[in-house]
Chains A and B, each alone.
Chain A
Amino acid sequence: MAYDSDLSFNYFGPTKIVFGANAARDVDIEMGTLGGTRAVVVTDQGIIKAGLVDGITACLGGRCAGVFSDVPQDTGVEVVNAGAEFARKNGADIVVSVGGGSVIDTAKGMCILLTEGGTLRDFNGVQLLSRPQTPHMVIPTTAGTGSEVTNAAVIMDKEMGQKRLLVENFNVPRMAILDPKMTEKLPPLLTASTGMDAMTHAVEAVHSIPHEPLTDGLALHAIRLLYKYLPVCVENGSDLHARGQVQIAATMAGWAFGNAMVGIVHAMAHSIGAVAHVPHGIANGILLPDCMEFNLEDAADGYAMVAEALGVREKGMGDSDAAQAAIRAMREFTRKIGHPQKLSEMGVGGKDIEKAADMSLSDGSIVNNPRIVMDSAEVLEIFRKNM
């Protein structure tokens, strides 16, 4: 792929990565490198029940300011406000999130309130902050969201009836500890769907309008790692080597899409998630191949690179043929890892997709899609193919 001669971009990825089996045990030492003295641990009840928090709090010892575990699957403004209040009362000066996307996003919101005061409703906008926020360390327990390295958080505001998107460069987590042991107990379906979330981040980073050489490099290697190691993780969750490779891939994909952004797949997944509560990773995994098909003419060169990363570009293939090979391989891949194939399997109905198609046009991701989407009928057609 050639880049335009007037190529111009900003790449922003300030998060320190600490990787290794049992690396989470270094949480207390690493916290000190960020200047933290008292950490509030943010997590959810499922993570506590899985026994993933006890080791963290034990390592923190007297530096643990408390555990805030009231985080639901889709976090909300009230949850963030309550978490910040809990952290403030307990004198926390650093936030350690242990969990998946909802937990990490809750912690991101808390960091803002701990620094700026007020409640989350005071922050309606984009890039409003003008100073570094309370330090945040992330210990992911899934491998998919990439939220550990991005500037964005999605928080539901029930009062307003919509999700708030926080985008703040001053609130990117300072550190992520990627410990394969923390994802070891993820069941196969969750492993597959969170892995497809990462795969979608990577593919969308490649086809998005603002993609550039750094994000392409990260995304394409993430695709290689996911294609090779995600099936291994689904087959044998206790393979820590494979788990680690998938964690690294998810973080690389996070850096890629955090800079290059995402497109129509995410616009549609966010919308069907809001309307019919389809888990984000599953929606992404189901919709990805048909969205690639939709973008084919406008993103063939990008998908040809994806085909190379997947190892399905044969000698002599032009970009268009290679792109189609990539789409076929992606469909086969979702079947191989036992990923759901249709939205109807997730209880989605005809009215749901009509509403979601309309909502998709308001999603911030849609503006970065390589093929300009002008009409909700185009989106509805993709939804229908996946029913």
Chain B
Amino acid sequence: MPIKAMTQEWMDAYKAAIQADPEYKGLAKDWEGSVSLVVNPDPAKNVPEPIYLFMDYWHGDVGDFVVCDKEKADSAKFVMTGDYARWKQVAYKELDATKALLQGKLKMKGDLPYVVRNIKTVNKVIDILGRVDTLWPDDDHK
């Protein structure tokens, strides 16, 4: 049964999928710090308001995974912002996140060299995101 994207239930499922991945813990052993995803509103695609998602990663463990407010999102070590359609493309691996940053399709506040040094961890969590059975806001009509 697909879970509605960008809801707390979906965040819980994403966190559980990361925890269940046999490779994640080892790959992410050097990663320190939280990541926020900011989804810009797109009323035409049933995203009427911005959505803020906060995820706490620490040396292979995962902490808070919550839908939050702007203030908490801004407190993350890395804040990545993009249009809803871009995030969906990232989830489906139609858009490479690093390439999207360099092309201006996503924005990132934070230390780029740190992200590059840990690119395998970044790619892993994106891989896992794609595995979460998701109902996207603009899939509702189906």
A residues apposed to B, CB below 8 Å: 10, 12, 124-128, 151, 162, 165, 167-169, 210, 261, 361-364, 366-367
Contact = CB atoms under 8 A, between A and B. Distances in A.
B113 A127 contact: no
Given A125-B107, A128-B107, A367-B119, A165 B112 contact: yes
Interface stretch (B14-22, B51-59, B96-104, B126-134): B96-104
B112 to A, nearest CB: 6
B102 A162 contact: no
Given A210-B99, A367-B98, A127 B104 contact: yes
Contact of B109 (A124, A210, A367): A124
A261 B113 contact: no
B85 interface: no
Nearest to B120: A374
Main DSSP-derived SS at the B contact region: helix
B62 interface: no
Contacts of B70: none
A127 B101 contact: yes
A362 B103 contact: no
B116 interface: yes
- Band of interface residues on B: 20 to 34
Contacts of A151: 104
A251 B99 CA distance: 22
B113 A125 contact: no
Contacts of B98: 364, 367
A362 B113 contact: yes
Given A210-B99, A367-B98, A127 B106 contact: yes
Contact of A162 (B107, B110, B113): B113
Contact of B114 (A12, A167, A362): A362
A188 to B, nearest CB: 35
Contacts of B107: 125-128
Which among A10, A126, A261, A364 has the greatest number of chain B C-beta atoms within 10 A? A126
B117 interface: yes
Contacts of B109: 124-125, 128
Contact of A127 (B79, B108, B114): B108
Contacts of B111: 124
A125 B108 contact: yes
A151 B101 CA distance: 12
Nearest to A151: B104
Contacts of A167: 101-102, 112
